[in-house]
Structure 1
């Protein structure tokens, strides 16, 4: 839901959804100008839309242990950062700001409209720990700017646009915990692999360890028994008894697939079984197993079973009759 009001009212919205925050206009504001804001949350991630409507200064009143990625849709904005100083971004430059709010951090906005992705630091740091199955020596820290014109920048921007569009047009998709977990996994992996941070070089160039076949089988057995549940790579690695990196390497070596592609195959098998048993409509069954895009679901289904999901539903009664 979009909230409208004074600049100060939007500051109160940020206080409710992100951290204690105070906002005030820079100079006199026309009484007809309204600031607008909206916030949605999925799993551990929040997406905040901000349109200040007028030149504004905002001050964080408390430290916020969260990663903030802010995309500038219009205008210009700058934030003070304790490690990098002033971080400035504007739409014309095609970059996004990465920052964490600390007490008395000031943000200056001029005609600014933006999207802000907020993820708790511990969520990202736990993924790095899980990747190595080792504690971090230093806190995870990102470079202050992301070039949105790069391939990896475009990938993250596309995910944010999808996040916004889905919540606008089909918010019920995120009510499915399987889909919500899949989307968060995709976002976290793109952030850690595509953005510069103090563990990036190690993630890219570290010596590759490989899970033994027994660990790969443990992961597969867990996926088959729990396919109806939200499953993350972090959880799979823990169940298999190895690091995420070793698990990815093991699946590539012994299955020539990623763990999540194997999980999708398993869920596709369950969807096929449900279609054969006529437990619901194609849409209901696809959504149940985390396939929110019916076009992609149908394409994968045809590639695997040689017919469309709707055809399986139609032929199922004949097969049941013959079996009887």
Structure 2
């Protein structure tokens, strides 16, 4: 995860909103903490980067609001232990209370408003990790909005399992931890949480998983994909792809819809976006964003920048400066 190393740990106890902002920004992303004037605040925060999930235990007393300062390509899951809080996502609101997890998409600016006494566990997952897992299963590039359901029942099914695994991880936090340092075990547990989330909690790609897009692609679809990879920089057409696969255009479209969940042209655009992303991160700094975009067939810079931000959570100019993780 960005800015976090495997096994990274942090503990904080204080009452200064600016200090809390700095701590949370370091661990989960750019946030701003505010408290009403002339009010008391106590905030305890324990954090560990446990493999594929960053995990924290939070306890606060007093009124405060925690708002995002920028979009981040991460998924935040709040597991309340005590007290309620109001989560505002755009114009929508969700009440975070014991027994119900709140699932927040960091690409949509949100704010957490807390009153009185509150404690919760939280999980932060890099969305790119989820995209990689889905891409491996579906045998196609995956990006865009994940659209997980915003709430999850913690008393039954997947929610109960995730909550119990999280409580186990919570036992490794703090100076009084009864669990010895065990990064590999924490990594395994966090991987189980991500797999459970992807496989069983409804999201945008659940239909593709349930409809069999995970099945091995037939030979003609694989031939089409191989042809795309070999000609990413060439101006190829649907007819070219179908000819290389040895089938008609209509059969090609049906095969991609069935086994890749998208059209051949959209799949090709996804491959080209991935190639442009790699170049933005790895190419010499003297090479401009526009040159890289044109190299991979993107002619409209505004449209390219918009699509890139949807995929990777930042504008291509930031990736060019080396601030976006691969």
What TM-score range do you get, normalising by the shorter chain? 0.5 to 0.7
* 2:50 paired residue number: 42
1:143 aligns with 2:152: no
Please give the alpha-carbon distance, in whole angstroms, between the structure 2 residues aligned to 1:210 and 1:19. Answer: 37
- Aligned-residue offset at 1:192: 0.8
Per the alignment, in what secondary structure is the counterpart of residue 163 of structure 1?
helix
Per the alignment, in what secondary structure is the counterpart of residue 114 of structure 2?
strand
Structure 1 residues 104 and 132: alpha-carbon distance in aligned structure 2, compared to 1, 3 A threshold: closer
* 1:57 paired residue number: 65
- Aligned-residue offset at 1:70: 0.4
Per the alignment, in what secondary structure is the counterpart of residue 163 of structure 2?
helix
Structure 1's unaligned 5+ residue stretches are 212-245, 247-324
Structure 1 residues 113 and 12: alpha-carbon distance in aligned structure 2, compared to 1, 3 A threshold: same
Please give the alpha-carbon distance, in whole angstroms, between the structure 1 residues aligned to 2:48 and 2:70. Answer: 22
Please give the alpha-carbon distance, in whole angstroms, between the structure 2 residues aligned to 1:105 and 1:154. Answer: 25
| TM-score (norm: length of structure 1) | 0.57
Structure 2's unaligned 5+ residue stretches are 1-9, 218-258, 260-326
1:77 aligns with 2:93: no
Aligned partners of 1:7 and 1:56 also within 8 Å: no
Please give the alpha-carbon distance, in whole angstroms, between the structure 2 residues aligned to 1:65 and 1:208. Answer: 24
Which residue of the other structure, out of 169, 174, 178, is the alignment partner of 2:178? 169
- Aligned-residue offset at 1:155: 0.7
Question: Cα deviation per residue 1:170-227 (whole Å; 9 max; x = unaligned)?
Answer: 24221x3xx344323311111112212111232233266369xxxxxxxxxxxxxxxx
| TM-score (norm: length of structure 2) | 0.57
Per the alignment, in what secondary structure is the counterpart of residue 172 of structure 1?
coil
Question: Cα deviation per residue 1:258-282 (whole Å; 9 max; x = unaligned)?
Answer: xxxxxxxxxxxxxxxxxxxxxxxxx
* 1:112 paired residue number: 118
Question: Cα deviation per residue 1:133-167 (whole Å; 9 max; x = unaligned)?
Answer: 11226432211111112211101111111111134
Please give the alpha-carbon distance, in whole angstroms, between the structure 2 residues aligned to 1:61 and 1:45. Answer: 22
Report which of the two has the higher share of helix.
Answer: 1
Alignment of 1:136-215 (within 5 A): 136=142, 138-167=144-173, 168-174=177-183, 176=184, 179-206=185-212, 209=215
- Larger RCO: Structure 1 or Structure 2 (Cα < 8 Å, ≥ 6 residues apart)? 2
Aligned CA-pair RMSD: 2.6
Aligned partners of 2:100 and 2:151 also within 8 Å: yes
Alignment of 1:239-258 (within 5 A): none
Structure 1 residues 163 and 59: alpha-carbon distance in aligned structure 2, compared to 1, 3 A threshold: same
Please give the alpha-carbon distance, in whole angstroms, between the structure 1 residues aligned to 2:33 and 2:168. Answer: 29
* 1:19 paired residue number: 29
